[in-house]
């Protein structure tokens, strides 16, 4: 059923799309797995995915239901067993089943070989605070990108990330995040967002989508209809967002409109309730009003809709694990991500189709969308990763340099009373999270360091400390204090007592190094706040 690269080229030239076997060889017309030929006049070429409806019509009901599911797997053997038994459309990677790059690449090849239809092998790799690939080149994340004000940096981060993922056989990333974060207390989005300005988020999102796709990886914008204004974590509860329809259209919708206009491969649902958009009280993942009415109807989206993880409390709160996947498909979802009990969920959907609760026509629509996504990302032309090249592709000097550049562009100087910064000619003490790493980085930049009590200036690092930041500043005494927010920049709201304040939006090594360079004056600060913080508005940022 998988199409070889040679056959794909022949198909374009001959206006026909024959199929190939799982081992890469060709199949004869009429054999199981062959794609239907498409007829056309000599002057009219069929669409590249014109074969999809005929192919869906030849699939068994069990195979079609399986295409909807993307599930966890614990090992190579477990993944192969799941593929063969449930005909799943995809699997999702986590750190525990990756190992080394070469091992992950070999495993991806084995999983693909076990499947009649190319698999979407996915991962939740946003960079920043949500990273599931243990060996990937580390970037500081989305809010740092928002602070750069450079959409090209978002494309670079996504292209590098996508290139490294594709090197190990991963072809779908559940990123980038399209949420507009307007609640400083938001426990689940925060730094995952590009910022609080819909226009800035839209610009960054569009470039990130392009970067992933350039690398051959399907991009997934999330979490529709918008998860940026909640103080409840949908992993553990069911958030309720009170935005009016007008507020939604102004604040939450623009990034998703931009994603659709840019040709995003998939859009992920949110396990949230938005009463002004749907009065049913159901989470958006299970809401036909939101998915079919708003996303497909109002916004005109025709691509794949994937649920957020069905293991999360926000999806499971009102209905049982058998009812949730059926309701999600009925609402308009195409991919069912991480059902907590795959056999139960699979049999529930299969039974719903057999009983007519889910019309087979509705099932066919989802399967066709999934196959078109796979066609669009070139999976029918080949999925093989090269284990021998995987290690060399990841963490190259060029990729690490790109991460350093993004981190340096992101550092934002919010306050600098009396031109305290840069600190090159002062003795500096460091207190707080990652203090030892920052001290070492400062020394590499030629800055003298000492214990905070005996230093001229103390740099206080914070990591989502919130209101406690103020007391920590006071405890350091009368000498000048510089507060550096390594996590959410909202810590700077409580840093009024500090002479200077900066934000890096990340505590990763690459961000610590960038902070040291800015503090030392080796690199000038050029970042701008992507959210209001430290009493300053979006777009504020000082320089030297």
The CATH number of the domain holding residue 479 is 3.40.50.1700
Q: Give pTM, 2 decimals.
A: 0.91
- What was the pLDDT predicted at 36? 41
Alpha-carbon span 277 to 268, nearest angstrom: 17
Alpha-carbon span 143 to 532, nearest angstrom: 12
Where do we find the tokens 């909640």?
Answer: 230
- What was the pLDDT predicted at 29? 31
Alpha-carbon span 298 to 290, nearest angstrom: 10
Q: Write the burial class of residue 435 (CB in 10 Å: 0-12 exposed, 13-18 middle, 19+ buried).
A: middle
Contact (CB, 8 A) for 297 and 289: no
Domain that holds residue 209: 50-397
Is the same domain home to 363 and 215?
Answer: yes
Is the same domain home to 415 and 392?
Answer: no
Is the same domain home to 242 and 107?
Answer: yes
In a domain, 485, yes or no: yes
Contact (CB, 8 A) for 177 and 125: no
Q: Mark whether 227 is an active-site residue.
A: no
- What was the pLDDT predicted at 44? 64
Alpha-carbon span 463 to 211, nearest angstrom: 29
Cis ω for the linkage preceding 266 (within 30 of 0) = no
Identify which of 210, 227, 329, 306 has the alpha carbon closest to the alpha carbon of residue 261: 210
- What was the pLDDT predicted at 22? 34
In a domain, 471, yes or no: yes
Name the helix (H) or strand (E) containing 460.
strand 457-462
- Active-site pick, 173, 308, 434, 491: 308
| Residue 240 main-chain phi, psi, to 5 deg | -120, 120
In a domain, 247, yes or no: yes
Is the same domain home to 99 and 216?
Answer: yes
CB atoms within 10 A of CB 319: 16
Please list, residue by residue across 35-71, b when 16 or more beta carbons sit within 10 angstroms of its beta carbon and e when fewer do: bbbeeeeeeeeeeebbbbeebbeebeeebbbbbbbbb
Q: Domain with 264 in it: what CATH number?
A: 3.20.20.300
- What was the pLDDT predicted at 210? 98
Token pair of 180 as six digits: 């507009």
Identify which of 174, 228, 241 has the alpha carbon closest to the alpha carbon of residue 198: 228
Alpha-carbon span 326 to 345, nearest angstrom: 8
Q: Which residues of the chain have pLDDT under 70?
A: 1-44
**Residue finishing a domain among 338, 367, 397:** 397
In a domain, 235, yes or no: yes
- What was the pLDDT predicted at 436? 97
Q: Mark whether 235 is an active-site residue.
A: yes
In a domain, 29, yes or no: no
Is the same domain home to 428 and 357?
Answer: no
- What was the pLDDT predicted at 335? 98
Is the same domain home to 316 and 215?
Answer: yes
Contact (CB, 8 A) for 339 and 69: yes
Is the same domain home to 510 and 381?
Answer: no
Is the same domain home to 420 and 290?
Answer: no
- What was the pLDDT predicted at 45? 72
- Active-site pick, 233, 235, 321, 540: 235
């Amino acid at each position: 059923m998988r199409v070889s690269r040679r056959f794909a080229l022949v198909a374009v030239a001959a206006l026909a799309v024959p199929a190939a076997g799982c081992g890469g060889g060709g199949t004869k017309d009429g054999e199981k797995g062959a794609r239907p030929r498409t007829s056309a006049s000599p002057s009219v070429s069929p669409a590249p995915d014109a074969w999809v409806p005929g192919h869906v019509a030849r699939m068994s009901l069990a195979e079609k239901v399986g295409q909807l599911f993307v599930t966890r797997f614990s090992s190579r053997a477990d993944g192969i067993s799941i593929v063969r038994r449930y005909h799943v459309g995809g699997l999702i990677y986590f750190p525990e089943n990756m190992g080394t790059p070469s091992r992950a690449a070999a495993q991806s090849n084995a999983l693909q070989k076990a499947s009649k239809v190319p698999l979407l092998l996915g991962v939740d790799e946003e960079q920043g605070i949500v990273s599931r690939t243990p060996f990937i080149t580390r970037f500081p994340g989305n809010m740092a990108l928002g602070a750069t004000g450079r959409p090209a940096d978002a494309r670079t981060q996504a292209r590098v990330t996508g290139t490294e993922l594709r090197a190990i056989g991963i072809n779908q990333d559940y990123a980038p995040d399209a949420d507009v974060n307007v609640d400083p207390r938001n426990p689940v989005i925060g730094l995952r967002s590009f910022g609080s300005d819909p226009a800035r988020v839209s610009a960054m999102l569009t470039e990130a989508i392009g970067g992933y796709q350039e690398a051959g990886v399907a991009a997934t914008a999330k979490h529709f209809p918008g998860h940026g204004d909640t103080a409840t974590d949908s992993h553990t509860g069911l958030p309720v967002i009170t935005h009016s329809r007008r507020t939604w259209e102004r604040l939450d919708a623009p990034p998703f409109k931009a994603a659709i206009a840019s040709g995003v491969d998939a859009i992920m649902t949110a396990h949230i309730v938005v009463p002004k958009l749907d009065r049913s009280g159901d989470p958006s993942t299970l809401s036909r009003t939101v998915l079919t009415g708003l996303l497909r109807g109002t916004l005109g989206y025709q691509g794949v809709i994937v649920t957020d993880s069905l293991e999360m409390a926000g999806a499971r709160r009102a209905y049982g694990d058998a009812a949730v996947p059926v309701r999600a498909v009925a609402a308009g979802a195409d991919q069912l991500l991480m059902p907590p009990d795959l056999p139960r969920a699979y049999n529930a959907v299969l039974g719903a189709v057999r009983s007519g609760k889910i019309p087979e026509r509705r099932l066919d629509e989802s399967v066709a969308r999934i196959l078109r996504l796979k066609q669009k990302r070139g999976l029918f032309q080949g999925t093989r990763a090269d284990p021998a090249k995987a290690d060399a592709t990841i963490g190259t000097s060029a990729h690490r340099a790109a991460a350093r550049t993004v981190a340096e562009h992101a550092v934002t100087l919010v306050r600098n009373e009396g031109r305290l910064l840069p600190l090159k000619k002062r003795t500096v003490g460091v207190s707080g999270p990652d203090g030892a790493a920052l001290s070492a980085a400062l020394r590499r930049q030629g800055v003298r360091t000492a214990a905070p009590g005996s230093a001229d200036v103390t740099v206080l690092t914070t990591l989502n400390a919130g209101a406690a930041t103020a007391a920590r500043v006071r405890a350091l005494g009368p000498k000048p204090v510089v507060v550096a927010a390594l996590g959410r920049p909202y810590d700077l709201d409580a840093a009024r007592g500090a002479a200077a304040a900066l934000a890096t939006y990340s505590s990763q090594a690459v961000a610590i190094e960038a902070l040291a360079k800015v503090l030392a004056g080796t690199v000038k600060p050029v970042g701008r706040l992507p959210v209001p913080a430290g009493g300053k508005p979006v777009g504020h940022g000082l320089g030297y």
